[in-house]
A and B are shown apart, each in its own frame.
Chain A
């Protein structure tokens, strides 16, 4: 399953709910305002419940738009551009957009 989240964890519960629902093999992709949630904050609330073998990706162009440097972000993250986004869609089924 590819979860797509588009709101930050402070904007909506979608991301924290998704972290609870994602099991091994699932991928969480953060786009739009959701990329604010990849900035490392203390305590690291939202990703604490993340299970093993669930990968978290962030859409790099959305970080750029918002002036978010990778240095400020969690180190377990993977970054994708739009072609990487397409590859995630190609390699995962189904796709669940969580609004």
Chain B
């Protein structure tokens, strides 16, 4: 038991960023990618999910992938908080480029300017991308 607690404390020290910077539809990669994020959270790692570039569109409400027989990503995004992943960031510049605002998104996000993201990313241990 003590060992597990220690292990968890050590794990907590590792910060893992998951960057979604590309469209998520049409292939299974984003789904498999988010599986890693959920697993990382289940391992008590400090997980931060970042949307930028085209990837910010993944957050849009009212996606209808089932019209092409594809799987909905929104439920997984909603599940992030269940897995204690509460740091969901969006690059401010990307959001401005797409003229989007957080109320158009399926989950609450924090808008962070690129220069600050650089500092946050640099303090991470691992950055996952797909």
- A–B direct touch in complex (beta carbons closer than 8 A): yes
Count B-side interface residues using an 8 Å CB cutoff.
Answer: 17
User: Are B114 and A94 neighbours in the complex by a CB distance under 8 Å?
Assistant: no
Residue of A nearest to B53 (CB): A17
Is B19 engaged at the interface, CB distance under 8 Å to the other chain? yes
Count A-side interface residues using an 8 Å CB cutoff.
Answer: 16
Residue of B nearest to A93 (CB): B125
From 73 to 116 in chain B, residues with beta carbon under 8 angstroms from any chain A beta carbon are 114-115
Q: Which residues of A are in contact with B by a Cβ distance under 8 Å?
A: 1, 13, 17, 20-23, 25-26, 93-99
Q: Which residues of B are in contact with A by a Cβ distance under 8 Å?
A: 17, 19, 21-22, 53, 114-115, 117-118, 121-122, 124-127, 129-130
A-B contact pairs, 13 of them (CB 8 A): A1-B121, A20-B114, A22-B118, A23-B118, A94-B17, A94-B122, A94-B124, A94-B125, A96-B19, A96-B129, A97-B129, A98-B129, A99-B130
